[in-house]
Structure 1
């Protein structure tokens, strides 16, 4: 089960805590977005369509509890969500969970524990996260959508299958026959594994928009890998 590459929206009004969470989550392989209050959180939720949220309970303009209720009730979203707060009373924890949070973390907390909590919630709710993102490239497998920095990219069915296979296994070398099986599960021996090369050339042309970024790397004599860093 691949949990990395998930986009996380952090809604926290304390800049030190917000940036600390960002550093630890990105070092653990997640893509992060930041919002300073509940209203910014609503806007970011609509624009970014994140895979996971960390929401502070006490914030200006709109509380974390109200933001979570808006996400669950008005947006009808089941996005995995952790509530973070300085309040440790049982009634506050219950209120946070009843508003729709999947877990509750009290301040002060260890950044390492927060990452572990995120991963624990994701393992339980990964089916609710239809998205993998790296360096601005996003694939939504169930919707059949691929975007780069918000711009839609049209792929053929085989290009989409290849990209999804590679992004599910970031930084791992995949052999041509593994990628061929992804495109043609019951393929005949007459299907040449060099077919993969042809599709990947076209895929690269579509997703690698400039010379500064490489998503798919050729490993000579071995295969291909998706570069996530």
Structure 2
């Protein structure tokens, strides 16, 4: 099966894992959120469904998850979807089916946003606005992680690095950025502990 996926997903930057242990180790130290995760429920050293149950917030750190399984029972399918999986594919499957679903998901995730680092301007749907340096850096982070959210800690670490920032100051930057983005049809949605970029 790995060869099949290596062929199907060759146009994309992919990392493959053989075991749940290997995946869990890489996941725990990952700094970049994956855009798409494809996982077989039955791995040589454990169940991915059990891992999902033990890491119920995993979907906050991955844009989309597709589960693949040889189990046709409704139980595992429902549990996977309830725990954050986007889709459930039953084996045996037609390789083209997976390819089409992956392409559709990735195409739908694209946000037609144009960022100009020279002028700190942003264009969306033929409308533009100019940002401050800090606002532009924050927007760049939001765009890079779209549609997954980023935390205040993410912003502080990336934009201000080792400099201590007053939380009120960060709130002001986010508020002013949100106001400017509304002029071009974008919004920063605050979901629990994360900030997510979205079209209005």
TM-score (norm. length: structure 2): 0.49
